[in-house]
């Protein structure tokens, strides 16, 4: 017989009744029923109920074992008596009577409960993550992550993609976030960067002639933490040669569609998968106030600036902003005439909390519109509003007025807030039980950075500008569109990608517009430029965020719930103690000196003094 087990804890059935078996696992629960001790023994597959009779010599020994101790038992499989069958367990028709016991490892008093619900905070859960991961919910989510990655790999292999690993230590590259830098011991004063994405390497693989690449790629970005973003994350990274944008969509849509359909019912709530037509970036910003709109929300935004420009409209708060170049965006909310005044007041208070003066509205109920600004908008202007927004009796229209970029963002947040505040069952409440996908296309190549006062890349700097070199030589770079695209689902950006620029002269011009001199370009991207000068195929690709996909399928609002080991929101690992202070010898080897900010240095000095 095997030293630890003949079966796993979810395998035994009535067919094994009468057999002597060996099981190993953790003590999930112990229950004393009048001298008869019941033990739920758990391993990664499930639970088996084990029994110690009241006259067993093992009773005293096992009573000393705390829950989560690891034991190995040998015993006889018996069919449970009628009325004691547990239909919630796969092994619920049998139990194992223990004849022999080995304690493999005793558990201390637990800092958090594994078998039962526990209100332990995130700090405790992360410090004792190994215990947190034993809990059913966490265990299942980590297994879901594994299964999703397995499914992705298989689907990519089935389409002829090859999996390559790219370097982790590399050079810094402008990918839209801060790099994590790694000092070089052998090259004093120089640093490697951890990759924000394998962008240049996967393009170089295309130049090398491999045609179809993918990787489950680790990526690192030194950004502030939030629920749907971590410093270290993984993505399904891919690239193809001799393709146009439509070829990328035709290749990756079935992969992601298949993954979501395979795991759509994982939470126990059935979901359907729906793909909507592609949408241009500018249309998404105008109609939904976001480049990752949640299309389960049926509300839409429209521009009504011209209505508030009319001479007969006397709402000066809007007119003053319009004269400075601002816009008025509006959200139609159907059939809310029966809602209490508090519905509108709460939305107004919410807008103030977002930094706006409020959320003005007009409610159309009867002949004349009602609401705080209705008196400033005469009947003729109200009729024009009705035509633009498709308003009917019983509808309300909410307004946001600001400069174009700010107005779009606030209108997008207001659209979601209004939808979420609608009562259950309302025709425009957020749809449930569906994953709504679309590809957002035609992103701008550049944007104006107000902080620096300069033009910069708006997204991926390696994308091919629509119109090529001729477009880049035009009078206004802010009007140049890139062959870039995102895949979005239910308000989340799942993927970003583009058809790449594979011509050195276009790359040089594109980076020159963003302020990169030829010398800087050669220094930072010399390898890429050299490769393009020796024959590069047209190519493109994208990368899907694995963590967000798992988060959506698991119906979890926080990425830390779908990772095995993570840091907290301050990017600290309470279990491993990271980040740590370097030793003097380490700093000496790396030719570095730590210069702390004044505030941090003061706090540390006080701590040392008090100690």
Q: Known binder of ligand: residue 360?
A: no
Cα–Cα dist 251/254, whole Å: 6
- SS3 at position 203: helix
Q: Known binder of ligand: residue 548?
A: yes
Strand ranges inside 34-109, DSSP E:
36-43, 46-52, 70-79, 94-105
> Pseudo-torsion of CA 304, 309, 313, 318, nearest 10°?
80
Cα–Cα dist 305/519, whole Å: 46
Cα–Cα dist 71/97, whole Å: 14
By the 10 Å C-beta count (0-12 exposed, 13-18 middle, 19+ buried), 184 is classed as middle
- SS3 at position 381: helix
Cα–Cα dist 103/73, whole Å: 9
Which among 124, 136, 135, 145 has a CA at the least distance from the CA of 233?
145
Cα–Cα dist 72/53, whole Å: 17
Cα–Cα dist 190/186, whole Å: 9
Q: Known binder of ligand: residue 29?
A: no
DSSP 500-566: BP--HHHHHHHHHHTT--HHHHHHHHHHHHHHHHT----EEEEEEEHHHHHHHHTT-S-GGGS-SS-
Q: Known binder of ligand: residue 547?
A: yes
Q: Are strands 539-545 and 232-241 parallel, antiparallel or unpaired?
A: antiparallel
Residues in CB range of 306: below 8 A, 6 or more apart: none
Q: Known binder of ligand: residue 546?
A: yes
Cα–Cα dist 211/540, whole Å: 10
Q: Known binder of ligand: residue 68?
A: no
Q: Known binder of ligand: residue 2?
A: no
Binding-site residues for ATP sit at 221-223, 493, 545-548
Residue ranges of the binding site for L-aspartate: 175, 221, 459, 500
Question: Which residues are documented as binding site?
Answer: 175, 221-223, 459, 493, 500, 545-548
């Amino acid at each position: 017989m095997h030293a630890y087990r003949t079966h796993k804890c979810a395998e035994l059935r009535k067919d094994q009744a009468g057999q002597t078996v060996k099981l190993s696992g953790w003590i999930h629960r112990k229950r004393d029923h009048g001298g008869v001790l019941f033990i739920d023994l758990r391993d990664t597959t499930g639970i088996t109920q084990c029994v110690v009779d009241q006259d067993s010599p093992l009773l005293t020994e096992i009573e000393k074992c705390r829950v989560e101790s690891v034991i190995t038992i040998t015993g006889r499989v018996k069919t449970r008596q009628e009325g004691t069958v547990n239909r919630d367990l796969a092994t619920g028709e049998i139990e194992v009577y223990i004849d022999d016991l080995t304690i493999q490892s005793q558990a201390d008093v637990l800092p958090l409960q594994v078998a039962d619900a526990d209100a332990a905070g995130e700090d405790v859960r992360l410090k004792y993550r190994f215990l947190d991961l034993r809990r059913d919910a966490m265990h299942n989510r980590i297994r879901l992550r594994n299964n999703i990655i397995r499914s992705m790999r298989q689907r990519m292999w089935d389409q002829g993609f090859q999996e390559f690993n790219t370097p982790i230590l590399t050079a810094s590259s402008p990918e839209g976030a801060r790099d994590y830098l790694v000092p070089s011991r052998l090259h004093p004063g120089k640093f490697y960067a951890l990759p924000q994405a394998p962008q240049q390497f996967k393009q170089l693989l295309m130049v090398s002639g491999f045609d179809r690449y993918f990787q489950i790629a680790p990526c690192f970005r030194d950004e502030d933490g939030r629920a749907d973003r971590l410093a270290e994350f993984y993505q399904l990274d891919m690239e193809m040669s001799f393709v146009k944008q439509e070829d990328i969509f035709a290749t990756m849509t079935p992969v992601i569609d298949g993954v979501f359909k395979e795991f759509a019912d994982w939470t126990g709530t059935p979901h359907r998968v729906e793909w909507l037509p592609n949408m241009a970036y500018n249309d998404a910003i105008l109609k939904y106030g976001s480049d990752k709109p949640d299309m389960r929300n049926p509300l839409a935004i429209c521009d009504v600036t011209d209505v508030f420009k009319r001479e007969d409209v006397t709402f000066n708060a809007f007119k003053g902003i319009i004269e400075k170049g601002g816009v008025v965006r509006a959200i139609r909310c159907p059939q809310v005439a029966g809602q209490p005044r508090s519905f509108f007041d709460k939305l107004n208070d919410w807008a103030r909390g977002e930094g706006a003066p409020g959320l003005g509205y007009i409610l159309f109920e009867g002949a004349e519109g009602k609401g705080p600004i209705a008196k400033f908008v005469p009947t003729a202007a109200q009729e024009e509003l009705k035509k633009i927004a498709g308003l009917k009796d019983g509808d309300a229209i909410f307004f946001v007025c600001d400069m174009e970029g700010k107005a779009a963002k606030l209108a997008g947040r207001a659209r979601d807030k209004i939808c979420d505040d609608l009562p259950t069952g309302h025709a425009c409440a957020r749809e449930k039980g569906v994953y709504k996908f679309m590809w957002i296309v035609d992103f701008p190549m550049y944007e104006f950075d107000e902080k620096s006062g300069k033009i910069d890349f708006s997204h991926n700097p390696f994308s091919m500008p629509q119109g090529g070199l001729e477009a880049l030589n035009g009078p206004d770079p802010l009007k140049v569109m890139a062959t870039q695209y995102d895949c979005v689902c239910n308000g989340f950006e799942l993927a970003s990608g583009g058809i790449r620029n594979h011509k050195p002269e276009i790359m040089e011009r594109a980076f020159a517009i963003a302020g990169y001199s030829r010398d800087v370009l050669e220094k930072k991207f010399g390898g890429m430029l050299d490769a393009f000068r020796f024959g590069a195929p047209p190519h493109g690709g994208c990368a899907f965020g694995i963590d967000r996909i798992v988060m959506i399928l698991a119906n979890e609002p926080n990425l830390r719930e779908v990772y095995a080991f993570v840091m907290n929101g301050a990017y600290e690992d309470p279990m491993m103690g990271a980040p740590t202070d370097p030793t003097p010898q380490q700093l000496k080897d790396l030719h570095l000196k730590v210069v702390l900010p004044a505030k941090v240095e003061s706090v540390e000095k006080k701590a040392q003094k008090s100690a």
